A and B are shown apart, each in its own frame.
Chain A
Amino acid sequence: MTDIYLDNNATTKVDRAVVDVMIPYFLEQYGNPSSIHKFADGVARGIKQARQQVQNLIGAEHDSEIIFTSCGTESNSTAILSAIKAQPNKKEIITTTVEHPAILSLCEALEKDGYTIHRMPVDKAGRLNVDAYQKLLSDQVAIVSIMWANNETGNLFPVEKMAELAHAAGVMFHTDAVQAVGKIPMMLQDTKIDMLSLSGHKLHAPKGIGVLYLRRGTRYRPLLRGGHQERGRRAGTENTASIVGLGKACELALEHLEYENTHVKAMRDRLERGITEQIPHCFITGDLYNRLPNTTDIAFEYIEGEAILMLLNKAGVAASSGSACTSGSLEPSHVMRAMDIPYTAAHGTIRFSFSRYNGMHEVDEVLKVMPGIVQTLRKLSPYWDGDGPVVNPEQAFKPTYA
């Protein structure tokens, strides 16, 4: 059996067609796009084309609204720091408890600098309360930053509606859309979203390239100052090969958008159904009716995620986990905690995330190995006895915590 990659929310394989368009920019057209000679000839055109390809995928009104950056994290930092720098009198930021660390860590640092951070909670299905959000909006808020899709559960947040509300209150709106772009259709020109972050490596472009979408007219302060690149909004010599690659990847993503929401979704649904039917005491986390087509996050009760991943890896299946032990920091997934998932389940969450490179036969392979893996680990678990959990698991096993 060849290895099965179901960790596409972490990163994706670069599409062969993307690599092909990049190669000439390493070996032939390697000139600096600012230079006037034949090595730079066509490079600016390549970048312009890429800008339009990104524009088309996200439905931006102008191609000049696309700013190339080095990654999603840079785009996120640029957006938030720009908003607070451009509006020094506004000292509040609205975000959620389930954002990516790229937002949460930055907000934590800004909190130390005196900013008030409103971190909106989510319910057990990971949904936001839009009414509560509306009450937070005021002229004190510098920016709202809310992810379009959650990386762990795949939950989609109503960012278009929330951007409308922010706009009506005169508040800038940013969305971290690195998980959403290329997986769901979007038409930014019809929204009130002011800024949006996307990352190349989540949609089959290379790592190290990202985009900040900046609506024309949005007040802006660059993070990196220097040369005139990106119209002075992001200085630094262009990562030409990767920009061109990202453009191609966006073009392909747009072509496959329907496939993503039919075939890819069908694979996800089949895996989910197969697992929940075959394996007792497991459940899908998040908002089942409003999430990305490629993502499922399943909690296997009474066992731990890293152990599951190690056995999956041995069986040739790559996935990821919200368990504490898989992250370098040892912190349990803040998303699972925010959703109030009991810890005997939160530690056993496994995220399977698909791409158009996966096939239905791979789903069947995973379904073959998964029940055995769960059974093996449950045999070792103090919460498990024979064919089911011990009676009253959390009472029956009450360790002394150190």
Chain B
Amino acid sequence: MWDYSDKVKEHFFNPKNAGAVADANAIGEVGSISCGDALRLTLKVDDESEIILDAGFQTFGCGSAIASSSVLTEIIKGMTIDDALKVTNQDIADHLEGLPPEKMHCSVMGREALQAAIANYRGEEWADDHEEGALICKCFAIDAVMIEEMVWANKLRTVQDVTNFTKAGGGCAACHEDIEAILEKVLAEKGEKFDPEATPSKQPVIEASKVPLTNLQRIKKIEQVLDSLRPSLMADGGDVELVEVIGNTAYVNMTGACNGCQMAAMTIAGIQQRLMEVMGEFIKVVPASEMSKLVQITA
């Protein structure tokens, strides 16, 4: 059984704006191929102000698809269509107090129906801009199509490469077999052979130290490694900031989307792993919030 939030249940058991709006002038019909769900969104848009006066949905789908549709209609009613277009699938999920990773595509379907409806209102043809595949990495909700595209585009060869580029496989690691299968398939299409022993190719190369580092060297090295990791953090709207280095302990602040993210602990563990690999010595990475405790102890 899915662990649905109370908000999802509320919208599922008592959906808002179910049914078609009678005199709709914007209609969006989209489906999600990965699970067969489909949604028709009907809007009544005021031609003067371009404000969405009324919204209704009809959904062929599961609990979270119905809840996503329902909450979407609540969010966009009263918005101008320009503002409505800024509603992301994450907004839909947030309004529902979260969705299980396997169900995030329901919120994507909602956003797409909205785009399609507005395109319909404007007399445009809506073209889908992404393809969705089977969910591979459940920790970070990365699907097969995304991984395949990244493998193609960036000439990735190892599971580690895939993790560096997409985060897929960076959590519990249970999907590594599936990622290997994708690598095998894509590399075969390119006429290459997947080699599980191959060294990850795309990591920025930073020489490992042979001699013990001075504190200044250590800080510089840590900054260097953090810089190399920054792009993948920023891709998720987050960042990391080095606050202090005491001995072998690096204190960092996770900022942006990383701040308060459930995955922050995992990300910190990943940073620590990378630091140790590059620096060839034991490094402990600790959230800067822990520093106050340290001061109290030493003082």
A is bound by B: yes
A357 within 8 A of B: no
Within 8 A of B (CB), among A386-402: 397-402
Give the interface size bracket for B toward A: 35 or more
B40 touches A399 (CB 8 A): yes
Interface residues of A in 350-380 (CB under 8 A from B): 379-380
Q: Is A120 an interface residue (CB 8 A)?
A: no
Interfacial residues of chain A within 17-61, with CB under 8 A of chain B in the complex: none
Interface hit among A84-92, A150-158, A238-246, A306-314: A306-314
Asked whether, in the complex, the Cβ of B134 is within 8 Å of the Cβ of A401, the reply is no
Q: Which of B98-122 contact A (CB under 8 A)?
A: 102-103, 105, 108-109, 112, 116
Q: Is the CB of B60 within 8 A of A382?
A: yes
Given contact pairs A332-B35, A382-B29, A401-B30, A323 touches B62 in the complex (Cβ within 8 A): yes
* List of B residues within 8 angstroms of A402 by Cβ: 30-33, 108-109, 112, 128, 130-132
Q: Mark A301-343, 1 if CB is under 8 A from B, else 0.
A: 0111111001100100000000111101111100000000001
Please tell me if the beta carbons of A381 and B58 are within 8 angstroms of each other in the complex: yes
Chain A proximity of B240: nearest CB distance (Å): 32
Report how far A141 CA is from B266 CA in the complex, Å.
47
The 8 Å CB contact of A380, one of B15, B64, B105, is: B15
Which A residues are CB-close (under 8 A) to B60? 302-304, 344, 347, 381-383
A304: chain B residues at CB < 8 Å are 36-37, 60-62, 65
Q: Which residues of B contact A306 (CB under 8 A)?
A: 62-63
* Chain B, range 1-27, C-beta contacts under 8 Å to A: 9, 12-13, 15, 18-19
**Could you say which of B63, B128, B134 contacts A331, with CB atoms under 8 Å apart?**
B134
Chain B contacts of A311 at CB under 8 A? Answer: 13
Cα–Cα distance between A329 and B102 once the two chains are bound (Å): 8
Residue of A with least CB distance to B12: A310
Complex: A303 Cα to B58 Cα, angstroms: 11
Number of interface residues of A (CB under 8 A): 33
Asked if A325 and B128 make an inter-chain contact with CB atoms under 8 angstroms apart, the answer reads no
Whether, in the assembled complex, B39 has its beta carbon less than 8 Å from a beta carbon of chain A, the answer is yes
Chain A residues near B61 (CB, 8 Å)? 304, 307, 325
A381→B38 CA distance, assembly (Å) = 9
A314 to B63, CA, bound (A): 13
**B12: which A residues are within 8 A, CB to CB?**
307, 310
**Which of A324, A379, A397, A398 lies in contact with B35, CB distance below 8 A?**
A324
Known: A307-B66, A323-B62, A329-B134. A399 touches B31 (CB 8 A): yes
In chain B, positions 34-61 with a C-beta closer than 8 Å to chain A are: 34-40, 57-61
Q: Is B126 an interface residue (CB 8 A)?
A: yes
Residue B135 interfacial (CB < 8 Å): yes
CA distance A401 to B37 in the complex (A): 9
Cα of A378 to Cα of B108 in the assembled complex, Å? 23
Give chain A nearest CB distance to B178 CB in angstroms. Answer: 11
Which chain A residues border B108 with CB–CB below 8 Å? 402
For B131, give the chain A residue with the smallest CB separation.
A402
Residue of A nearest to B42 (CB): A382
- Which residues in B have their C-beta under 8 angstroms from that of A326? 62
> Which of B32, B62, B134 has the most C-beta atoms of chain A within 10 angstroms of its own C-beta?
B62
Say yes or no: A325 contacts B35, CB within 8 Å: yes
- Residues of chain B with a CB closer than 8 A to A328's CB: 102
CA distance A399 to B112 in the complex (A): 11
Whole-angstrom distance from the CB of A354 to the nearest CB of chain B?
Answer: 21
Residues of B within 8 A of A305 (CB): 62
In the complex the two chains form, is B18's CB within 8 Å of A330's CB?
no
Q: Which residues of A contact B33 (CB under 8 A)?
A: 401-402
In angstroms, how far is the closest chain B Cβ from the Cβ of A328? Answer: 6
Contact of B29 among A324, A330, A400 (CB under 8 A): A400
- B59 contact set on A, CB distance < 8 A: 380-382
Report B-chain residues with C-beta under 8 Å of the C-beta of A382.
29, 38-40, 58-60
Max count, chain A CB within 10 A of own CB: residue among B63, B105, B134: B63
Ordered by A's residue number, 24 sampled pairs between the chains whose C-beta atoms are within 8 Å are: A306-B63, A307-B61, A314-B13, A323-B62, A325-B61, A325-B103, A328-B102, A329-B134, A330-B35, A330-B134, A379-B18, A380-B19, A380-B66, A381-B59, A382-B40, A382-B58, A382-B59, A383-B60, A398-B29, A399-B30, A399-B38, A399-B40, A400-B29, A400-B112
Given A310-B9, A325-B63, A399-B40, list of 8 further CB < 8 A pairs? A303-B60, A307-B12, A325-B37, A329-B135, A379-B18, A380-B66, A399-B29, A402-B31
